[in-house]
Amino acid sequence: MRERNFIFLLLIFFLLNLVFRVDVSIATQGYLPRNAEIDHIPKNILFGSFAGGRSHVKPMLDVAAILIERGHNVILLTSGNYTPASEYPTVKQITLGPPMNLREIKGIRELIDKDFDFSRVSTIHEIAINTYKDIFEKYKKAVKEYNIDLLVCSAAMNDPCLDVGHALKKPVVGFISFLNALEPKSYKSDPIFRCNISMENESFLERFRCTVIQPLRMVNYIYPFITGLNDIRKQIDVEPVFLSVRRLTQTSLILVDTFFGFELPQPLSPNIQEIGPVMSEEYPPLSPELSDFINAHKRVLYVAFGTRFFTSVENNSKLLQSFVEVINKNIIDGVVWALVQTLKDDFNPTLNLSDGSQIQTSSILSNEHPHIHIASFAPQFAVLNHTNTKLFLSHGGASSSHESLYTGTPMLILPFGGDQLGNAEKLKSAGIALSLNKMKLDVNDIVNKMDILLKDENVKKNSKRMEILAKINSKRKFRAADLIEYILYSSNTNEINEEFLKEWIPAGTRMGFIRGNNYDVYGALLSIILGIVGGILWVTFKLIRFIVNRIPSSAVQKPKRE
C-alpha cells in the first residue's frame, strides 16, 4: 500500500514538473524582438551647416556616426576645412567656402566688443543675403549629384539648406540648440531682447515690453532682410517664406540639442524633439604636457571661449590679472587657458596687481608662470573630465555648457551675445553657475565669484544633480537617429506634400491661427451669449414698459387735498 502511494506521489510530482517546464518554456519563447533590425537599404543623407565650426558641426556628426554604423552614406557640407577624418573617417566633406573669421568682420566684432543688441545684426543679414545664391546652388548640386534622400540642416543662418529641401521636395530635418526661435511662449523671453528668460516673476509693464514691444522691434529690424532674401528666392524660383525655420516647424521634424533641467520647461509639438545633450563616444586625450600640468595641481581653473569668440584687450588683461590674484589667494592653484581666437597681442604688456606689484604679461603667455598654462588649443572634454578641474570659465556656448554639465563642473560665464546670454541665465537658474558682464568686467568681482562657486555647498549639490540629468539624456542621440530613419522609410521622397508627417505635425499648424485656436468658435459663442443677454435685457425692458403703461394714470397721481 505504501509503495503504491509512493509511486502515485512520484507520478504527480513528475506531471507537475512537466507542466512547470512547459510553462517556463512557453514564457521564455514568448519574447518581444526588441533588437530586431529594420529591413532597409542604405540611404544617402546630407548634413549641412553654413556657420560651420566644431561646436556647430560635431553634435550633428555624432548623430551621423550612428547612421553610418547602420549602413547609411553621409555627406557633410559646411564652411571652412572642417575635416572630421580622424573621428568620422567615412564622412565625405564638401566645403561651402572659407570659414567666417569674426575678427575680420567689423559688424560682428562690434557685437562682441560692445553690449549685445539685436539692432546690430545687420552685418550677419548682409552676409546671408550676399552668399545665398552661391550656397543654394552648392546644396542643390550636392543633392542631385549624390542622390540625397534626406537633408539634416543646422537651422542657424542656413536658409539655403532648408530651401533646397523644400524646392526639391526632399525630407528635411532641422538641427538646432535652442527652443525660443521654434516655439515662443508667453511666459518665456530671451536676453537678446534685454529681458529675463522667465516672465514668471516680472511686472505687467515688463511682460508687456518683452512680449509685445521688443519682438515688434526685432521684426522691424529683420524685415528688410526677409524681403531682400525673398526677392532673391523669387529670382531662382524658390517659394518665398517669412522665416524658413517657422516653415520647418509646420512641415517636418526638428531635433533640439538641449534637455530638461537645462532648458526652462515648456510643452512641445510632437515634431519638435529634445535629443540633447549630444555627446561623442570618444574624445581626444590630454597631451603629455597638459596632463602633467593638471596632475600637478589639485584645484584647476579651465578657461576657453570656444573656437570663434574673443574679447577686448582690456578684458583679456583683467581676466589674466584675476587668474594671478586667485592663485595668490590660494583659491585655485592652477589655470589652463586655451587661447583659440585670442592672440598674444590682445593683452596689456603689464598687469598691476591689487597688492601694488606688477607682472609682465609676456612671461605668463610664454608659460614662465609655474601655475598658469597657456595653450593655443586644448581637448576641452578631457580637461573638464579630469578630477582636478574644479571650475570652468566659458562664454556659455551650447556645447561647452553641455560638456561642463556632463562632467559636473561649475561654470563662471562671460557671454558675448546670441544664445550665450540665455544659456548663462539658465545655468545660473540651475544653481551651478554665475555670470560676468563683458561691459563691466571687474577683477574683484571675478575673484569673489570664483571663490563662491568653489565653496558653496549648494553649487556642489546642483552640479551633481545636473551631471546625472546630462548623462541620462545623453543617450537620446540614438533616438535622434531612429527618428531620422523613420522619416527615411515612412515617406516617399518623390512626393513630399501636405500629407507628409501628418501623424506628427499638429493640426493647428494647418488650420491657421484663428481656426487652430478655436477663436472663431469662441467668437460665435460670445456672440450667442451677448445675443441671449441682449434678448433678456430687451424683453425685460419691454415688460417693464408694458407694466408701466398698464397702470392707470390716476393711480400714480397724488390725491388732491380737500
Burial class (CB in 10 A: 0-12, 13-18, 19+), 222: middle
Of 92-101, 190-199, 362-371, which gets the smallest average pLDDT?
A: 92-101
Mean local confidence (pLDDT), 327-347: 88
Q: What is the pLDDT of residues 490-549, one digit of tens each?
A: 765 445 555 666 777 777 777 777 887 888 889 999 999 999 999 999 999 888 888 888
Would you state the pLDDT for residue 93? 85
Binned at pLDDT 50, 70 and 90, residue 472 comes out as very high
Neighbouring CB atoms inside 10 A of 538's CB total: 10
Are 163 and 251 a contacting pair, CB within 8 Å? no
Provide the pairing of β-strand 350-352 with 358-360: antiparallel
Q: What is the pLDDT of residues 289-299, one digit of tens each?
A: 999 999 999 99
Are 283 and 319 a contacting pair, CB within 8 Å? no
Would you state the pLDDT for residue 89? 74
Q: What is the pLDDT of residues 102-139, one digit of tens each?
A: 666 666 666 677 777 766 666 677 788 888 999 999 99
Binned at pLDDT 50, 70 and 90, residue 341 comes out as confident
Q: What is the pLDDT of residues 43-90, one digit of tens each?
A: 999 999 987 777 778 899 999 999 999 999 999 998 877 655 566 777
Identity (one letter) of the amino acid at 184? P
For residues 68 and 84, what is the distance between their CA atoms, to the nearest angstrom?
14
Greater confidence (443 vs 511) lies with 443
Judged against a pLDDT cut of 90, whether residue 12 lies above it is answered with no
Judged against a pLDDT cut of 90, whether residue 320 lies above it is answered with yes
Axis crossing angle, helix 508-516 with helix 519-550, rounded to the nearest 10: 20
End-to-end CA distance of the chain: 133
